[in-house]
Each structure stands twice: as C-alpha cells, then as structure tokens.
Structure 1
Amino acid sequence: MNFLKRQGPNAKYILTVCTGSWILSSTGLLDGKRATTNKEMFKVIKEDTKDLPITWIAKARWVATEDKKIWSSSGITAGKLVGMDLAYAFLEYITGKGPSEASAGLLEMMVNGEGDDPFAAKNGLV
C-alpha cells in the first residue's frame, strides 16, 4: 500500500484487474473517481468502501477515469484473457484504433466495450 500511495500520484497510468481496484481504493487514489471490480465481489467491495467517495460502476467490463489516468477491469478475464478488454481499450487510447484493431485481429478477439457486461445482471447488480 505504501508503494502505491507514494508512486500512484506520479504514475502516468494505473491499471487494475479484478479486485485490484479494491486494493487501490484504500490508497485514496480512487477518491472522487469511477471504477469497477469483480462482479461476484462487487456488493462486498461496495459495502466495504461505502464511506469512500468512489463511484462503483456495476455494468462495466472496464472503466477509465475522466482523466484516463486510472483504468479498472471487472474480472481477471474481462472477457477473454487476462484483462484483454481493458488492455484493448487502453491500447486504443494510447495508440489509436489501427494498432488495437490489428492486435484484436491477430488474437482473434471479440472486443467487448465498456458497458458490455453480462456478469452485472448475472450477479443481480442491474
């Protein structure tokens, strides 16, 4: 935690996968921001952090903060491989559509957008 608290404010980007956003929430780096997390743990995490000024987004495969500095994904797969939906969105933000689409094609990946999250309904969150 101390490392995140010290380095986070100076980091160009911070990406979390699954319940990593829960860990990040305890550093204050998500205060006043939007984030998502694993849907099976969503209610537990939202309850645990209810006194923190974080807007938890239930129906999201990934969420980027308004300033695009912090990116969180909903599950370890976020659709495919480790954080692939988040990775695709982040790559598109950094490099543009061309490289991200080429990467998705190479991986034969079906891309899920930020709100393409069937797990929110499955876990009774929406």
Structure 2
Amino acid sequence: MTDMSATNIVFLLFPGVTQLDFTAPAQALSRMPGAVVAGAASSLAPIATDSGFAIVPTHDFASAPQADILCVPGGHGVAEALGDAATIHFIARQAARAAWVTSVCTGAFLLGRAGLLAGKRATTHWAYTHLLPLVGAEHQPGRVVEDGQIVTSGGVTSGLDFALTLIARLKGAAVAQAIQLAIEYDPAPPFAGGHPDRAPDAVTTGLKQRVYDAAAARMEAALRGEGVIVLD
C-alpha cells in the first residue's frame, strides 16, 4: 500500500535563483503521494528569477513549515545569498530537523555555508565543482550524489534526477517511475553535449570564457569573503 502520510517539502527562494533548479524538482516532488510543497523566502515579495519572470513565495522564513525535505536550488544569485545571514540561518535551522537536506546546482554552496557539507561527498554544476573543498566537501562526479541524509545534484536539469531518486527512496521505485512517466521525462536531447565530458571542446571553452570563468571567480570570492554562518 502506498504511504499517504504528509511530507513537507520546503524550497528556499532567493533573488537570482535559476527557476528550473526549483521548478523541475518541485514538479516531480509535488506529485509524490502526501507531498506538501512550500517556497520560502525572506519575505512574501515576488522573487526575481534568472529567466525574466518572478516567482511568488508561499511563506516567509518565519512562517515556513518545518521541512521533511529541504531543497536549496542554485543560480547566479547564490553569490549574494552566501552573505545573507537570515538565509543561511534559515537553511541551518530547517536542516537541523529535516529528514533530507538537498540541493540543486550551486545551491550546494549555500548548504556548505550553513556548515552542512563538511566531510561530505557532494556535487554541483560542472563549472563550480573545483570550489566544493571551500565548503569542506569532496567532489564526487555524478548527477545525483547521496551521503547520508544529504543529497546534492549537478546543474539545473539534474534536479529532476534528484527528485525521482528521492521519491523512489521514500515511496518506492514504482511510484517514482509512474511520476517519471506522467511528466514524460524521457530525455532525448538533440545533442550529446550536456556535460563537458561529451560536449565539443570548442563549445565548452567558449561557454566558460563567456559565462563561467567569471561566474566561478565571483562565487569563489563570495565563499572566501565570509566564514561559515551557523546557528548560535
């Protein structure tokens, strides 16, 4: 029999979040039996995403329910969020009682700033994996990496893989497979180049030069500029 008990799933929202980091796993996890999804931010004001539109949180930090599953997405706004004490305290406070603590993409660095990745195996977007030791984590290649109750996933689309993996852990493979089928997650991309291991070198080099060299340097500066923030 399927377990129908309620599972509170709380997503952190912050300005500059990559919307698919949030919306992809939220779409899958919301279909899990008993799921109750919330999006928490510092206020109830609309959150500007990196895609030109905003997302409205369901809760502020004070009113957010205690998460059974805490999910921290990434985005170019992570560099600023790393220095926001209220955001880091919210993550640490929620993680202390959550059954699962998870991240998508560069959201891993927010977990790390909250002191949650020390000594853990983890992953993040390929352009930032070299920075994981700055938060005490050991990089393990993979779209989804589990280390105890901590589940991290790679860049952007990896959030769907993480969500389905966790659904299978909680509700069984048949439930996860049904959700995968319902959302028709059947990847057949037009190019076999979604990771530097498979993308043409010229494409990877060009993208790094245009976007990720500067973005990773900015992330590194943010990580080195502040100490780990934890609850008193």
Place the TM-score, normalised by the shorter chain, in its bin.
0.7 to 0.9
SS at match of 1:63: strand
Instruction: Give the one of 71, 90, 115 matched to 2:151.
Output: 71
1:49-82 CA-to-partner distances (Å, cap 9, x unmatched) read: 1xx431111x2001111x2x1111101111xxxx
Contiguous gaps of at least 5 residues in structure 1? 112-117
2:172 maps to 96
SS at match of 1:72: strand
Instruction: Give the one of 73, 89, 95 matched to 1:2.
Output: 89
In the TM superposition, residue 120 of structure 1 has moved relative to its aligned partner by: 5.3
Distance in 1 between residues matched to 2:114 and 2:90, nearest whole Å:
10
SS at match of 2:99: coil
2:119 maps to 32
1:24-52 CA-to-partner distances (Å, cap 9, x unmatched) read: 11111111211100012222x236x1xx4
2:124 aligned partner, one-letter code: T
Q: Which structure shows the bigger proportion of residues in strand conformation? A: 2
Instruction: Give the one of 3, 8, 16 matched to 2:103.
Output: 16
Distance in 1 between residues matched to 2:160 and 2:195, nearest whole Å:
16
Q: CA, structure 1 residues 30+120, in 2 after alignment: closer, same or farther (shift >3 Å)?
A: farther
TM-score normalised per structure 1: 0.74
> What is the Cα-based RMSD across aligned positions, in Å?
2.3
The share of aligned pairs that are identical, in percent, is: 28
Distance in 1 between residues matched to 2:136 and 2:102, nearest whole Å:
19
Which runs of structure 1 show a deviation greater than 3 angstroms over 4 or more consecutive aligned residues? none
1:60 maps to 142
* Bigger radius of gyration among the two: 2
In the TM superposition, residue 102 of structure 1 has moved relative to its aligned partner by: 0.9
1:82-126 CA-to-partner distances (Å, cap 9, x unmatched) read: x11111101111111110111111222237xxxxxx625256xxx
TM-score normalised per structure 2: 0.42
Distance in 1 between residues matched to 2:108 and 2:153, nearest whole Å:
8
Number of residue pairs the alignment of both structures matches: 108
